Amino acid sequence: MKHLLFTLLIAATIPLGCNSPTSTDEDKEESAKKSYVEKQAVKVAVQKVRQGAFARELVSNGKLAALEKAVVPFKVQEQIVAVKVKNGDRVGRGELLAKVK
């Protein structure tokens, strides 16, 4: 019975201790002034678009798709032990792409 009474007393006082003190309008205004930071202007250069060679690297998000795709059928079912080309390499007819076990 003592444990139950003690548990109920603790459970009743916990919400009272968790409340934060009420802030005044002046406190809210001061807090808002501290959190506001004026953004600085950013200077940018502008150029007209013209056709020509692109001298800089362009980093962007997006999807690329190959103009042509090739199906590479295998005559044997073995484990690949070495890949001789990297993604994006140009290959020709009859060139060794991978070695199998």
d(CA 82, CA 92): 18
Specify the pLDDT at position 3.
66
Tens place of pLDDT for every residue, the chain, 101 residues?
Answer: 666 666 766 766 665 555 555 567 777 777 766 666 667 788 888 888 888 887 777 788 888 788 888 777 777 888 889 999 998 888 888 899 888 88
Domains of the chain by residue range: 70-101
CA 76 to each of CA 8, 73, 79, 92, 100: distance values in angstroms, whole numbers, following the listed order: 75, 9, 9, 21, 9
